[in-house]
Structure 1
Amino acid sequence: MDKHENGASNGAGARTTRPRVVLVNTNQIRPSVAPIAFDYLHEPLVEAGFEVDLLDLCFAEDWEAEIDRYCRLRRVDFWGVTLRNTDDVYFSSQHSFVPVARKMIDALRRGSPVPVTMGGVGFSIMPQKILEACGADFGIVCEGEVAFPALLTRLLNGQAVDDLPNLVYRTDKGIVRNDVQFADLGKLSSHGRRLINNERYFLHGGQAAVETKRGCNRRCIYCVEPLTKGRKLRLHTPEQVADQVQSLVERGIYTFHVNDSEFNLSIQHPIAVCNELIRRGLHKQIEWYAYGMPAPFPDELAARMREAGCVGMNFGTDSASEKMLRILRRTFTKDDIRTAVETSRRHGFKYIIELLFGAPGETGETVKETLDYMEEIDAHRVSVTAGLRIFPGTELERMVRAEGLSRDNPNLYGPIEGNEDLIQPLFYLPTTIAEKPLEYIDSLTKGKERFFGVNSDGFNYNANDLLVEAIDSGARGAYWAILSETVDARRAALAANPVYAGDNSRQGSCRGGPSLTQLRSPAALNAERIVRKQWETRRASPSERPRTWSW
């Protein structure tokens, strides 16, 4: 449909076409991450009577030109804009995504001045502040499968919206946020996952995402998951999860990452999901990774996950100091970390331990205790991050404000003045660790191959050239696993032939050495060829492709 088929009313007042909502992906990080929320919104919007288009700016070299081209050629009735992340949440870069989101929304308005609604996890962390900063008309907090179609239907019919749950909206007295109502996920339609060009994201992002639950009932002091998805666990049925996986497998996608905050927040539901994947035979066609806590991680669950195709676990432990685990409000012990590592080895999982240093109360002794323990348990791969992003609404924010949110506080890094709302990245890293905390932590990890160095550029998932290169060469999997295997492979190549090093000294970034495609199995390489063939076919055939503008 071109611009001139504008959906205006006919003589009787009825619309000649369905109203069109255009979902806009503003996320341009590399490697590319698919906007899974838009796949989840697709069916509810269609069921509510809307035509859905996707303006995906992720791959656009010139997003302004892409927006302008779209608006010249196609009618827009409503914009829906996602903000997946407020920033890259990385101490060393402190890169905010909000300013470019504002510029994109301004460009959308210039092209088609229709209502703009924002959503996404990043937006839901501080919705009123981001709505104001980005200039949107409305916002949907937390999930949108019910609230977003309801909002658009009311706007279309000229009805009041001020009583809609999950809504953020403007009034003469300022921006108002309504209470949140969470959906019963088991009652939602299964998602076909066909709006997003998941094939292209798989080729350039190395994995596809799926979720089995939403919400988190833990109370980690820095985490926004309960703020954006609720404190109560809400479960997709095993059948819904398997439907998504099967739909993507049919298009040649075979590597998945479970997006749950922690896959093992419960035990029986993950086992039921695994059983359904096995029942359908999908376990023979896929490999997948998950985030998890060290406990509970019983052998029963680990064995079933492994049988269902899980190959890797990311254990976000933060610390191995009992003192810091209590401050951080983690619900496991250092002994649980050892047990999780032993369980992972016993069942053949790849795994990584993610450490996060710098909460209030952290000292040089607690840092050293944790790093020494990683060596004691012989953890294969450990990422080391220092500095905690202070998000509004968290216990960490309360602790830091009690300590003093001012330039006089030596533990703060990032903009303070004019950042009272914390919309700009501000980090906490206490000098109780050392006068120069980063240098101290680096001195304890430098030269030890099990550690990704403290705040290493190689472990930032945004604009990571090493990771992008590996994926473009055929690597698939969780990003930590790709980086780990890439670094190991290239270190081995260097040991065998030091000439590969050239003048590249950055950890794991040496050129030459074995091609990543040489490390893939024949089955994986064949699946890759299928994906590429199907993607090229759909790209060349408008009747076959989904309603995705940017290919």
Structure 2
Amino acid sequence: MPSRVLLISPNRCSVPDPVFPLGLAHLGTALRQAGHQVRWHDALVASPPLEALLSEFQPHLVGISLRNVDNVLLRTQEVYFEELHSLCSRIRRIARCPIVLGGSGFSIFPEVLLRWSGADYGICGAGEEPLVSLIEALESGSDGGAIPGLVFSANGAVRLNPPRWLKPALPLTDDDLPAEVVSYYLKTTGTLNLQTQRGCSFRCCYCTYPLIEGRAHLRRPPEEIADDFAQAARLGARCLFVVDSVFNSSPRHVQETCEAILRRNVRLPWACFLRPQALNADL
């Protein structure tokens, strides 16, 4: 049975730049492919107030993506999770439906943030398959207690099922990129983003990427990545940022991806995170 799912990006941080909520787009792709109806609410985008959207859309489930926990600045620290509790309360005053937390920030502290927010469920790690499975379980009357990555309350305690990282990000179509949201980020920064691979096998002591995405590098096909570059250029992006933890985790991946982009003749500036190690003249 198709469900109405509202996806919320509560992120209000615009320093140094506002960042397009790519995770919501990939969630929306998985939900749409499963036959569900998806709407977005981005706190940075001028759109109908949340309460008005909830009343009009009447969602069967609300998903909230917490991108960051704080700004990682010791001298001027700012945290971004404090409004989760009030946000869940605002939702519950209008929509009597399950609330599910997720996102990279949530995946670092899933048990604590589920308790703090008062949400019904959370998903740790990649959310596409677990969220679709959770909706199916709720529709069938099951508790979904065996879903990988699910965070839930049971017998007074918060439990976390071990996440499972099996697939790279799904390719996006224009249907997965709400025009009003894309337009905001193109007007403010001119930049969109994409992910060519998930996971990181490196063991940097300061980094949370392996916790969020797993330690296996799950890479997308080069031609599929080139399609995303072409799509971003067609939408009017002036720059594209590759959000991989380390784009050059594999010289072969870098070479094949760049060659695919060249074959598409996409003339679009782009940036990424790189390791100095393994760079050579060809790359």
The TM-score, its normalising length taken from structure 2, stands at 0.93
- Structure 2: which amino acid aligns with 1:294? P
Partner of 1:146, secondary structure, is helix
**1:25 matched residue in structure 2:** 9
Gaps of 5+ in 2: none
2:282 is aligned, of 287, 300, 309, to: 300
Separation (CA, whole Å) in 2 of partners of 1:94 and 1:189: 34
Instruction: Map residues 400-415 of structure 1 onto 2, 5 A cutoff.
Output: none
- State how many pairs are aligned: 278
Cα deviation digits, residues 430-476 of structure 1 (max 9, x gap): xxxxxxxxxxxxxxxxxxxxxxxxxxxxxxxxxxxxxxxxxxxxxxx
Q: Mean alpha-carbon deviation: is it higher for 24-33 or for 77-86?
A: 24-33
1:191–1:243 CA contact under 8 A, matched in 2? no
Amino acid at match of 2:213: K
SS at match of 2:235: coil
Unpaired runs of at least 5, structure 1: 1-14, 302-551
Give the match for residue 171 of structure 2.
190
Q: Distance in 2 between matches of 1:144 and 1:71?
A: 22
Equivalent residue, structure 1, for 2:210: 226
Instruction: Select which of 202, 214, 237 maps to 2:198.
Output: 214
- Counterpart amino acid of residue 291 in structure 1: F
Which structure has the larger Rg? 1
In 2, Cα distance between equivalents of 1:148 and 1:100: 23
Cα offset for 1:189?
Answer: 4.5
Alignment match, 2:249: 265
Maintained 8 Å contact 2:222/2:257: yes
Aligned residues of 2:65 and 2:102 also touching (Cα < 8 A): yes
Equivalent position to 1:51, from 27, 37, 48: 37
Match of 1:290 in 2: 272
Q: How does 1:367-446 map to 2 (within 5 A)?
A: none
Q: Which amino acid aligns with 2:282?
A: E
Deviation at 1:102, TM superposition (A): 2.2
1:142 Cα shift?
A: 0.8
Counterpart check, 1:98 vs 2:84: no
Find the partner of 1:256 among 215, 219, 240.
240
Residue of structure 1 in register with 2:20 after alignment: 34
Q: CA RMSD in A?
A: 1.7
**Is the aligned partner of 1:179 residue 2:165?**
no
Kept in 1, the 8 Å contact 2:190–2:237? The answer is no
Q: Which residue does the alignment assign to 2:263?
A: 279
Report the Cα distance in structure 2 between the residues aligned to 1:124 and 1:54, rounded to whole angstroms: 21
Q: 1:242 aligns with which of 195, 214, 226?
A: 226
Distance across 2 between alignment mates of 1:126 and 1:233 = 23
Displacement of 1:72 in angstroms is: 2.5
Matches within 5 A, 1:105-184: 105-184=88-167
- Cα distance, 1:38 vs. partner? 1.0
Q: Does structure 2 retain, via aligned residues, the 8 Å contact 1:191–1:240?
A: no
SS across alignment from 1:99: coil
Instruction: Describe how 1:67-82 pairs up with structure 2 within 5 A.
Output: 67-82=50-65
CA drift of 1:32 comes to 1.8
What residue identity is the alignment partner of 1:131? Answer: L
CA distance in 2 between partners of 1:205 and 1:110 (Å): 35
